[in-house]
């Protein structure tokens, strides 16, 4: 088995947007007299679609606002922050070039909807780096369901066993594993036990570049032994 494509998650992998997501949620809920923390966001909504996020908060605090209205409010605040404050994660451009130079196809599979993808790609100038872009907005279910990853593989015309996914959340890892794809976890908290489901765990994309060839060699040896 050879890796023929790399599928990136977006938030927390390509762009340091998790704090921006949290701020957008905190500010939106504050408008309705509800105070939430960054920890609340991380525990309850990280890796979710924005429609799911809005529903979670509406149900948790019995908000009278329509979920669509809260969703639009969060998106507006988020996209403004991305366009003015968004920064690429360490090693993003190097990793994209590294995998492209190996002849691998590059795809995106994110829980974020298209307006957020566009904001990120505009801010970081990433549009020409991806041959396939997939949003869970277009799927019946978001992560941890595998649908967005399966769609990416289908559009790439590559088998799931030949895809490598790079994620930063347990929700995203679960989706990729359910799609039967090889997974890398990239997070400063990579040593947390819950992330052990990943095939490789790294602090950042620079570490991925440094260790990928070694991982692939071990993968080939494992396949040969079986």
Catalytic residue positions, numbered: 9, 11
Phi, psi (degrees; rounded to nearest 5) at 82: -60, -45
Return d(Cα 41, Cα 101) in angstroms, integer.
Answer: 37
Which residues neighbour 64 within 8 Å (Cβ) at sequence distance 6 or greater? none
Cα torsion 192, 216, 160, 124: sign: positive
Angle at 179 between CA 173 and CA 180, to 5 degrees: 90
Return d(Cα 17, Cα 151) in angstroms, integer.
Answer: 24
């Amino acid at each position: 088995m050879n890796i023929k494509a790399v599928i990136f998650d977006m938030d927390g992998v390509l762009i340091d947007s998790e704090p921006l997501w949290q701020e957008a949620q905190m500010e939106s809920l504050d408008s309705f007299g509800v105070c939430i923390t960054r920890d609340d966001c991380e525990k309850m909504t990280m890796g979710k679609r924005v429609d799911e996020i809005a529903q979670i908060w509406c149900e948790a605090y019995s908000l009278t606002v329509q979920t669509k209205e809260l969703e639009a409010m969060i998106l507006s605040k988020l996209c403004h922050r991305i366009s003015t404050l968004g920064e690429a994660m360490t090693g993003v451009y190097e990793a994209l070039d590294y995998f492209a130079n190996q002849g691998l196809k590059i795809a995106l599979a994110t829980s974020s909807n298209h307006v957020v993808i566009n904001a990120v790609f505009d801010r970081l100038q990433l549009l020409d780096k991806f041959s396939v872009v997939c949003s869970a907005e277009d799927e019946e279910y978001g992560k941890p369901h595998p649908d967005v990853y399966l769609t990416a593989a289908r559009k790439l015309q590559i088998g799931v066993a030949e895809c490598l996914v790079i994620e930063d959340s347990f929700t995203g890892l679960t989706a990729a594993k359910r799609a039967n794809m090889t997974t890398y976890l990239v997070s400063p908290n990579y040593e947390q036990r819950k992330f052990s489901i990943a095939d490789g765990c790294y602090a950042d994309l620079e570490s991925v570049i440094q260790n990928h060839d070694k991982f692939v060699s071990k993968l080939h040896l494992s396949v040969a032994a079986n």
